[in-house]
Structure 1
Amino acid sequence: MSERVLVPTRSGDLPAQLWRPAAGSGPGIVLCQEIFGLSPYILRRAADLAELGYVVLAPEFFWRLGVREVSEQDGGLERGMELAGRVDWPLAVRDGAAAVRWLGARAEVTGPVGLVGFCFGGGLAFHVAAVEPVAALVSYYGSALPMLLELAPKVTVPSLHHFGTADSFLDRETVARVRAAVTASPATVFHEYDGADHAFDNPDLPWHHPAASAQAWGRTVAFLREHLPVGA
């Protein structure tokens, strides 16, 4: 079960959902949403991370636009992309950094804090990791990464990136540029998945690739266990 919480920021209270593991405490993870907001898929992934032993915070990064979740009835992909384009990116990065600090100060967070992000959130988490100390970063097909490559030298924490080779939104040349930039850091691991499209991890979308999803999630779990160990 999760609870709704409010994270203070300089421009108001950022709404978010908080999950605690069965043990009641553990390292922290700030989970950065896809363009569909706190969709059922993102909520499931947050619960998955809590089952692994993490205290998970999922901020509502569209809060200034008055949106928590984008469903098919609300306009689906077109609406999600429109909202992502309207987000004040610097403020969203500040929100992410505030979420990291807030989570790290919680009594139930007994270890360091890491970042996990999907799509829109994959790029956002990368930017937050460039400006706020965290212990680890996992980014799934970060859609904003091609515009953030100048930040790559500042992301020195252990990082894991997942991309599909058939991404409809990021062509192979673009992914190659991202790979070259982020893997300049020896702490970065970069995986590509043959035949997988964008958002391949989300079973609620037509681009879901079960094999790539399972393999990437297994790698994510192993990476987090190494760099954000539970019970350490």
Structure 2
Amino acid sequence: MPQQIEIETADGACPAGLHVPAIPSAKGVILYMDAFGPRPALSGMADRLADAGYTVLVPDLFYRFGAYGPFATDAFGNETSRQQLMTMIRGTTQAMTESDSGAYIEALTEAGVTGPIATLGYCMGGSRALVAAAAYPERVAAALSFHGGNLASDADDSPHRRAGTIRGRVYVGSAGVDNSFPPEQSARLAEALRSAGIDHMIENYVGMSHGWAVPDHSVYDVAGAERHWKRLLTVLEEALV
């Protein structure tokens, strides 16, 4: 079970789950949530990472909006919850998460994570993981995105524009068909990372749908999720040394 903590940020108190391994570890992971908020499915994933020997922090990126959900993973199918979700997503900017990530790293340090960390994100969290890696290159040794959206869009704050300040390894696992990360964005991100000299891999999970790796999604795929775990744990083992 995680410890429930509050992290003081520039904009208030951010609730977070802190998952500590049985044997204390100096290596940590920030798990950036998908659009539906912290919930048992993400907590279970963080527990699995803790069982593998990492201290894991799961912050609530939507804390500025006060109490909510979490949302069911079919929330976009309901007009009321879809509008609420979109308001919260648009109202939680990359700049906000970048600023908050400094406090997240500090919270991990206070928990004994004195070594390198990884940033890991799903869906909307995927772009946050890359932005945090660019903002805190001295601590982030790996950034991983699974079915992350808008990683190389036309927006001014698109993560690919920050590739030049990343120093850690980057892994991107994309769904086979995902309108939020189409082939042209994949190519643009690859070019940005290669031009910046970043050790990276962008892998296409053919046949998987957006959300396949998170167990409470309707599109969850057991084989695809285990493939994601294999890639994830390998990158962490190799990069967090």
Structure 2 distance, partners of 1:176, 1:207, is: 25
What is the count of residue pairs matched by the alignment?
227
| Structure 2 unaligned residues grouped into runs of 5+ | 77-81, 153-157
Provide Cα deviations, 1:135-165, integer angstroms capped at 9, x if missing partner: 2211112213122221111122112111122
Please name the residue that 1:10 is paired with.
10
1:138 pairs with 2:144: yes
1:155 pairs with 2:166: yes
Contact 1:129/1:155, CA 8 A, preserved across alignment:
yes
Question: Which amino acid in 2 is paired with 1:159?
Answer: V
Contact 2:17/2:59, CA 8 A, preserved across alignment:
yes
Distance change (3 Å), C-alpha of 1:80 and 1:217: farther
**The one of 184, 189, 199 aligned to 2:211:** 199
**Pairwise mapping of residues 86-105 of structure 1 onto structure 2 (< 5 A)?**
86-105=91-110
Please name the residue that 2:222 is paired with.
210
Contact 2:141/2:167, CA 8 A, preserved across alignment:
no
Normalised by the length of structure 2, the TM-score is 0.85
Question: Which amino acid in 1 is paired with 2:56?
Answer: V
Please name the residue that 1:129 is paired with.
133
Aligned-pair RMSD on alpha carbons? 2.0
Structure 1 distance, partners of 2:110, 2:173, is: 29
1:96 shift after superposition: 1.6
Normalised by the length of structure 1, the TM-score is 0.88
SS at match of 2:191: helix
Contact 1:183/1:190, CA 8 A, preserved across alignment:
no
Structure 2 distance, partners of 1:170, 1:114, is: 22
SS at match of 1:4: strand
Contact 1:39/1:69, CA 8 A, preserved across alignment:
no
Please name the residue that 1:113 is paired with.
117
SS at match of 2:162: helix
Structure 2 distance, partners of 1:116, 1:68, is: 23
Question: Which amino acid in 2 is paired with 1:151?
Answer: R
Contact 1:26/1:53, CA 8 A, preserved across alignment:
no
SS at match of 2:90: helix
Distance change (3 Å), C-alpha of 1:188 and 1:195: same
1:194 shift after superposition: 0.9
| Structure 1 unaligned residues grouped into runs of 5+ | none
Identical-residue share of aligned pairs (%): 28
Distance change (3 Å), C-alpha of 1:88 and 1:189: closer
Structure 2 distance, partners of 1:165, 1:179, is: 17
Distance change (3 Å), C-alpha of 1:226 and 1:154: same
